[in-house]
């Protein structure tokens, strides 16, 4: 069965897009056919995979949400064998503003994913770092939620807010939605603050929901500027090693 996974956090700068791109690449490397759906108007996942859709809104995810194209129409191949992309564009901003007041608009994405997605093993959603229509739409369409989170105390507030949203959507419109893991990012396990936050996560969510951490690594910051994942840009780096370990954990998280 196709697995629908969402990397979400309402706080920017948490490594969400970096995680979505590199986990998607790792999944493809492990012979899992994967589709990455970029729902962020900043289009950072799209850019990180060497694509640029500015001025090409008819081929972006907006065309699907507006009912002008099917999912199959907008999917583009990437340089990575087994990884496809539903690209984003700036037009998502106006779509979110216009559609937010429409009843049932949070279901548009999930309703348009039938059929074509069956040829993929994984659908990976990268929504924006907000709790608006686009993020809610991803969570309505998804099944497994993974929350990338930097190891500092202000991030705990964002984690609590994401959990409230997950519980609300689970109770109202997506009973299959589950938190499947918190991913420590910009991680240094030897710092006191990392140890304290790790302890809090274990206490509140259990050992099974604390996934392998992603260490601070300059290659992770450099790779998107070259339109590459870290596994393409620096395959022997700590970032590549960490995302490979994280992906193994996600694959085995059934």
Whether 53 shows a pLDDT value over 60: the answer reads no
Domain residue limits, the chain: 3-251
Per-residue pLDDT at 235 exceeds 70: yes
Predicted confidence (pLDDT) at residue 208 exceeds the cutoff of 70: yes
Q: Tell whether the torsion through CA atoms of 231, 29, 83 and 106 is positive or negative.
A: negative
Residue 181: pLDDT band by 50, 70, 90 thresholds?
A: very high
Q: Residue 160: is its pLDDT beyond 90?
A: no
pTM across the whole model: 0.94
Contact criterion met (CB below 8 Å) for 129 and 15: no
- E strands, the chain, are 3-7, 34-38, 76-77, 83-86, 122-126, 144-150, 178-185
Average pLDDT over residues 138-152: 94
| pLDDT single digits (tens) 67-117 | 899 999 999 999 999 999 999 988 899 999 999 989 999 999 999 887 778
CB 84 within 8 A of CB 76: yes
Instruction: Spell out the residues 6+ positions from residue 3 whose beta carbon is closer than 8 angstroms to its own.
Output: 121, 122, 123, 143, 144
Does 31 have pLDDT greater than 60?
yes
Return the closest-CA partner of residue 124 out of 47, 62, 189, 37.
Answer: 37
Mean pLDDT value across residues 2-20:
93
When pLDDT is averaged across residues 48-55 and rounded to a whole number, the result is 75
Radius of gyration of the chain (CA): 17
Give the tokens for residue 45: 């996942």
**Euclidean distance between CA atoms 236 and 232, whole angstroms:** 10
CB atoms within 10 A of CB 81: 10
Q: Which CATH number fits domain 3-251: 3.40.50.300, 3.40.50.720, 3.40.1000.10, 3.40.50.2000?
A: 3.40.50.300
Q: Tell me, what's the pLDDT at 57?
A: 45
Does the pLDDT at position 187 exceed 60? yes
pLDDT surpassing 80 at residue 233: yes
């Amino acid at each position: 069965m196709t697995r629908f996974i969402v990397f979400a956090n309402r706080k920017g700068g948490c490594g969400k897009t970096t995680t979505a791109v590199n986990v998607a690449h790792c999944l493809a490397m492990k012979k899992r056919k994967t589709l990455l759906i970029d729902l962020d108007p900043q289009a950072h996942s799209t850019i990180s995979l060497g694509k640029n859709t500015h001025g090409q809104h008819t081929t972006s995810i907006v065309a699907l949400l507006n009912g002008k194209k099917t999912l199959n129409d907008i999917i583009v191949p990437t340089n990575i064998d087994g990884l496809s992309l539903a690209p984003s564009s700036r037009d998502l901003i106006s779509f979110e503003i216009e559609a937010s007041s429409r009843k049932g608009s949070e279901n548009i994405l999930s309703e348009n994913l039938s059929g074509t997605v069956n040829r993929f093993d994984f659908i990976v959603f990268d929504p924006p770092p907000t709790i608006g229509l686009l993020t809610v739409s991803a969570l309505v369409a998804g099944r497994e939620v993974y929350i990338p989170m930097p190891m500092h105390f202000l991030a705990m507030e964002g984690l609590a807010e994401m959990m409230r949203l997950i519980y609300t959507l689970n109770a109202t419109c997506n009973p299959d939605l589950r938190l499947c893991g918190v991913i420590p990012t910009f991680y240094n396990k030897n710092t006191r603050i990392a140890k304290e936050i790790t302890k809090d996560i274990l206490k509140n969510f259990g050992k099974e929901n604390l996934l392998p951490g992603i260490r601070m690594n300059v290659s992770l910051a450099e790779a998107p500027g070259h339109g590459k994942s870290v596994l393409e840009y620096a395959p022997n780096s700590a970032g590549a090693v960490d995302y490979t370990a994280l992906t193994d954990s996600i694959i085995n998280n059934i």
